[in-house]
Amino acid sequence: MASNATAIFATPPTPSCKLVPQVPLLPFLSDNILATILPTIVYAIAAAFFHLLDTYNLFSYWRIHPSEDELKRNHVTRWQCLQTVIRYHVMQISIGLLLNYVGGNEPTMVGDESCRIQRAAGVISHARNLIPMTLAIVGIDAKKLGVAMKGTSAGLAQVLAGDYLSSEQNHGFTSFELSLAKLVVFICVPMFQYLIALTVVDTWIYFTHRLCHVNKTLYRIVHAQHHRLYVSYAYGAVYAHWLETLFLDILSFVLAGEIAQLSARQSMLFGSFATIKTISDHCGYVFPWDPFRLANNNGAVFHDLHHQSWGLKYNFSTYTVFWDNLLGTTWADKEGADKRYQRVWELTAKRSQSTDKEIAVTTDRSTERAVAEGKDL
């Protein structure tokens, strides 16, 4: 019995793995630097796309607000907004380059894939070999059962019989174990890392964002700048006070990357995804095929409602609706929101007949103070 147990739980020796630097995607630029600047490139492309829609009045049927509304309600000009957005990306890239410099800009080391697959296969093998042992307790011969099922379901036979089907083994593991190990190493582990990163960013932004609204002083001094855009547009997505840029946006992604241990290439994907999501939230369009809205109802309308003076205390989340739903800050009165949006369209039609001048930025912050006190402007 002891020898059988030893055979069942024996793990083949781990192959020798030599780590080597990963070849960069671009021969003239390291992956770390590319991960730092790629979100800005994605931001420029996505924002330019939506700006073209605004400029040529394309897909106007799906606009949340009439185009004229932007001129009457926003308290910052597009040029002022663009200047702040440029500052945001200069800060983002500068901090990213500084962190790379402090960290030595070391490339991702690769070459241990076979070792990781071997280790994962070992864990799977140990867990799966409990099945024939359990069957033996109730008097079922796993080897005979596996042989009998081999002709009809080879995969299930391997699962049930474990290492008894020695002819199916490859380097000490069955093909089932190796296939499952590759799935874990190349798919499951990275997805889990992305999930951790998303959880960190979503949680950090929800609570810091909500704090900026709960604390009236913090709102007036910092967060009110972002809400000068009552009618948001794509390239104004990161229009914000520099303190908000630093502590709410940049810090959240630095923490997420460190906690989830994202590689440079994983950071590229995660940062690009986050950038597109932010642009989508502020683009001012609600498309029927919006993947973010279809995934969890956190789309352009969800965030646009938060930008309205009557919705400031709701919809704080950026990527999911988890914390809003859990803590009761999700706007639930859809019919009421629809009526308010309809009223905006009607009032805009009247106002457009008077003046087309853009509203200048307030100097006494009276608008921000009124909004912080919950007044509907």
Q: What is the distance between the terminal CA atoms of the chain, rounded to a whole angstrom?
A: 81
Q: Tens digits of per-residue pLDDT, 160-174?
A: 665 555 444 455 677
Q: How far apart are CA 123 and CA 12, in angstroms?
A: 12
Q: Above 70 in pLDDT, residue 152?
A: no
- pLDDT over 50 (residue 362): no
Task: Locate all alpha helices (DSSP H) within the chain, ordered by sequence.
Answer: 2-9, 31-55, 67-73, 78-102, 113-128, 130-137, 142-150, 154-161, 175-183, 189-214, 216-221, 242-244, 251-260, 264-282, 291-296, 300-307, 322-327, 334-351, 366-372
pLDDT-above-70 percentage for the chain: 78
Instruction: Give the span between the Cα atoms of 268 and 26, in whole angstroms.
Output: 13
For the chain, the average pLDDT equals 82
What residues contact 274, with CB distance under 8 A and at least 6 apart? 39, 201, 253, 319
- pLDDT by residue (tens digit) across 95-120? 999 998 887 778 888 878 888 888 88
Confidence of residue 369 (pLDDT cuts 50, 70, 90): very low
> What pLDDT score does 188 carry?
96
For residue 15, the model assigns a pLDDT of 61
- Locate the domains of the chain by residue range: 27-110+192-372, 112-183
Looking at residue 195, what is its pLDDT? Answer: 97
Tokens encoding 20:
């080597």
pLDDT tens-digit series, residues 306-330:
998 889 999 999 999 999 999 999 9
Helix (H, G, I), strand (E, B) or coil at 232: coil
Average pLDDT over residues 60-73: 75
Q: What is the pLDDT of residue 361?
A: 38
Alpha-carbon distance of 96 to 35, in angstroms, equals: 9
pLDDT tens sequence across 268-290: 999 999 999 999 999 999 888 88
What's the confidence (pLDDT) of residue 243?
Answer: 96
* Spatial distance between the Cα atoms of 57 and 130, rounded to a whole number of angstroms: 64
Between 176 and 259, residue with greater pLDDT: 259
Report the alpha-carbon distance of residue 115 to residue 121 in Å, rounded.
10
